[in-house]
Structure 1
Amino acid sequence: MHEYPVGWGAALAVAWCTLICVSRIYLGMHSVLDIFAGLLMASGLLVLLVPLVDQLDAWLVTHALSPAVVLAVSVLVIVYHPNADKGDTTMIVSVCAGILTGSWTNYQLGHMTAAPLPPPYEIIWPSIEMLGLTILRTILGFCGVIATRAIGKSVSYAFVCALLGKDKNELRNSEDSLDNKNKIIVELCYKYFTCGMIGFNTTYVFPTVFDLLKINRPTYYTEI
């Protein structure tokens, strides 16, 4: 929890929410009714979940069984998602699973520790040096994400094809349809692995490298 002007925080939250809602309507992804229903559902979920956020975050970061639960829940969400096209859902869920697993790894290895003082915390506004390091981390991280995606996709696609006994080139060029079960399985598996690795690397691997290079954000490992 950080100290910031409540008015500015509320204004930014409303502006961001409005931008997302309007963009979904503009792109034809959702109707106005979909947006209103989503806002009502989200408001109801906030009432239920906000009091549990701190306890849930602490459990996900500290408990030994957290990665197994995250893996099981993420796979079940994908399998039982009602939409036939599960590609986007797989990418979103797997990134979240990778981020949670990366945070858990940071804590288990002793990299992540609680801040020495209780909240609220003062916002540290970036200096010129901090801004330069932020840009450098962004560039290096972006390159790392591209490399992770290229390697992860290639390796996981070939591995799953081998498990199914299918030629990867033949399967990649085959028809995109709901009847092509093998292609759907392979694509969902490679997306889950690749996006999960992107989330994990972004949370654990890249910050560890930045720490070795002495360019990491000073408060990164205190954000439990």
Structure 2
Amino acid sequence: MVVASPSLIIHHLVLCQQDARLLGHRLAQAGTRIVASLSQLLGQLARVSNWPLYCLFCFGTELGNELFYILFFPFWIWNLDPLVGRRLVVIWVLVMYLGQCTKDIIRWPRPASPPVVKLEVFYNSEYSMPSTHAMSGTAIPISMILLTYGRWQYPLIYGLILIPCWCSLVCLSRIYMGMHSILDIIAGFLYTILILAVFYPFVDLIDNFNQTHKYAPFIIIGLHLALGIFSFTLDTWSTSRGDTAEILGSGAGIACGSHVTYNMGLVLDPSLDTLPLAGPPITMTLFGKAILRILIGMVFVLIVRDVMKKITIPLACKIFNIPCDDIRKARQHMEVELPYRYITYGMVGFSITFFVPYLFFFIGIS
């Protein structure tokens, strides 16, 4: 029997180690080439070849973003029906808040890319289950029909067409954009139906309380603050945290503004004897006043938002000793983001239901 010397064994071990390193290096190079090839392939797949479809789904996904909300709810409150607008906001705040909190509890990641091609990356830091876009896209059209049918005169078939078209457009857009799976969408849809079934009977009671109760503003502000403080348990920064504070602040501001407006008699809901309401004839005067209200109101709201941002962010940084050189980085601290979002959008909501209607009354276009 031949026994190898220790030096020979060590020499063979060194050679094996070198071969393993060489093999690992080649595997890493191969992996890099594969990733590069996949990236190139995905880049080719991400090129838009059907622009009408792409634009349609971009519009669908915008129906769940801030730009849509900041135009949609004021339009209802200023031009169509303040009561319906306020109650839509109550439902929207409830649905979105529960959706965002559920995301942070379940913590399912977004669809992996590859194989999914993501055409939107802004909300990529959020969790995926359930889809809050799908929840909003389900809650708003259904609530619109529930709140307006019987209050306004129109054929029910219009609502039965609107609901599936609106809901399908928003839900399919999230899959097309690569931000959600089909399971996320189905869960968001069913979750919203459950929330509406449980809470919709109380919407009238909540709206009446917001307007008429003596201590409603203090209860509204305290409740929305408590919901915000006790719901943020994320270990890392996410757009979910700021969006939730923004939703709660907007809801609190709109509710408090409606309380002040009601007690000042600026906006009075029609009596039950006049229901169902008939739409007024569309004239150039009516159309012109509606456009004027939107333009003046939105300019005022955007000014309020920008002014409050410039005040609240540096103030929060100063109070909590956070460097304010990089505003974007400073906003990712919870101590800055939550007060800034809540106060800023609280004032935006208050402006929508009080300051702007008072301005319309003052210049004679209410």
Structure 1 and Structure 2 fold alike (TM over 0.5):
yes
Aligned to 1:49: 199
Aligned to 2:300: 144
1:86-128: CA deviation from partner (whole Å, max 9, x where unpaired): 0111112211111111111111222233424342211224321
- 2:167 matched to 1:17? yes
**Unmatched 5+ residue regions in structure 2?**
1-150
- 2:26 matched to 1:26? no
Aligned to 1:75: 225
Aligned sequence identity (%): 31
Return the offset for 1:173.
Answer: 6.3
How far apart, in 2, do the equivalents of 1:40 and 1:140 lie?
39
- 2:311 matched to 1:155? yes
Return the offset for 1:206.
Answer: 0.8
How far apart, in 2, do the equivalents of 1:176 and 1:114 lie?
40
Aligned to 1:221: none
1:38 to 179, 184, 188: 188
Change (3 A) 1:42 1:174: closer
1:7 to 157, 175, 187: 157
Task: Give runs of aligned pairs for residues 86-101 of structure 1, distance below 5 A.
Answer: 86-101=241-256
- Contact conserved, 2:253 with 2:345, CA < 8 A, in 1? yes
Instruction: Report the more deviating stretch, 96-105 or 121-130.
Output: 121-130
1:107 to 262, 266, 286: 262
Letter in 1 for 2:263: Q
Return the offset for 1:185.
Answer: 1.2
2:362 to 198, 202, 212: 212
Aligned to 2:348: 198
Change (3 A) 1:191 1:176: closer
Alignment length, in residue pairs?
210
Instruction: Report the more deviating stretch, 131-140 or 71-80.
Output: 71-80
Return the offset for 1:19.
Answer: 1.7
Instruction: Report the more deviating stretch, 47-56 or 86-95.
Output: 47-56
2:275 to 119, 131, 137: 119
1:134 to 271, 277, 290: 290
Return the offset for 1:158.
Answer: 2.4
Letter in 2 for 1:194: T
Change (3 A) 1:163 1:37: same
TM value normalised by structure 1: 0.84
Structure 1 vs Structure 2 CA RMSD: 2.2
How far apart, in 2, do the equivalents of 1:18 and 1:173 lie?
35
How far apart, in 1, do the equivalents of 2:210 and 2:197 lie?
20
1:32-73: CA deviation from partner (whole Å, max 9, x where unpaired): 111111211211222222222222211121112222222122
Aligned to 2:68: none
SS in structure 1 opposite 2:325? helix
Structure number with bigger Rg: 2
Instruction: Report the more deviating stretch, 67-76 or 207-216.
Output: 67-76
- Contact conserved, 2:320 with 2:335, CA < 8 A, in 1? no
